[in-house]
């Protein structure tokens, strides 16, 4: 019986999978699949985690005073303000990010939101899970965010 359980555990191991979507590259696990979501450039989900990535061109951002010379902090500040937040911008693991929790339809969710700058646009990437799973996925969110290329 021990041998059977060991083989079954081995067969169920998640494997890394890189997604190359609309100029957005991220390495996750094979438990994720791409889904369609209105207003989102890239949306990926697994049974317990969602990832929503939004691309905003420098040209489109000129209306809020941002352009190709703007920093990730300046862009993140606009993202926070436009979403009615007041989170502190943090810098760690080569990432610019904020974290927060929010209740939606009676469930509390944990969000890890980070920004990236490409050649002609900024990206905001929102990782989320149930808040009760924060300790399970927080390190994964950082690992996955560090794999992003735009």
What average pLDDT does range 23-45 have in this prediction?
A: 96
With a pLDDT cut of 70, the percent of the chain lying above it is: 92
Instruction: Using pLDDT thresholds of 50, 70 and 90, give the confidence band for residue 9.
Output: very low
Beta sheet of 33-35, edge-to-edge order: 33-35, 42-45, 50-57, 121-130, 107-117, 95-104, 90-92
Instruction: State the pLDDT at residue 2.
Output: 43
Query: Distance (Å, rounded) from C-alpha 55 to C-alpha 51?
Result: 13
Average pLDDT in the chain: 92
pLDDT tens across 62-74, in order? 999 999 999 999 9
Instruction: State the pLDDT at residue 6.
Output: 45
Instruction: State the pLDDT at residue 138.
Output: 97
Instruction: State the pLDDT at residue 1.
Output: 38
What average pLDDT does range 112-116 have in this prediction?
A: 98
Instruction: State the pLDDT at residue 22.
Output: 82
What average pLDDT does range 123-140 have in this prediction?
A: 98
- Of 41, 44, 46, nearest to 57 by C-alpha is 41
- Of 74, 80, 28, nearest to 51 by C-alpha is 28
């Amino acid at each position: 019986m021990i041998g059977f359980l060991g083989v079954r555990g081995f067969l169920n191991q998640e494997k890394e999978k890189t997604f190359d979507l609309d100029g957005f590259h991220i390495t996750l696990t094979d438990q994720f699949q791409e889904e369609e979501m209105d207003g989102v450039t890239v949306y990926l989900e697994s049974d317990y985690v969602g990832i929503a990535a939004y691309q905003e061109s420098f040209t489109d951002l000129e209306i809020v005073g941002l352009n190709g010379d703007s920093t990730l902090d300046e862009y993140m500040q606009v993202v926070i303000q436009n979403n009615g937040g007041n989170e502190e911008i943090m810098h760690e693991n080569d990432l610019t990010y904020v974290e927060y929790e929010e209740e939606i339809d009676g469930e509390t969710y944990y969000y890890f939101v980070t920004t990236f700058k490409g050649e002609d646009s900024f990206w905001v990437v929102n990782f989320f899970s149930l808040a009760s799973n924060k300790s399970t996925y927080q390190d994964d969110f950082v690992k996955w965010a560090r794999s992003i290329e735009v």
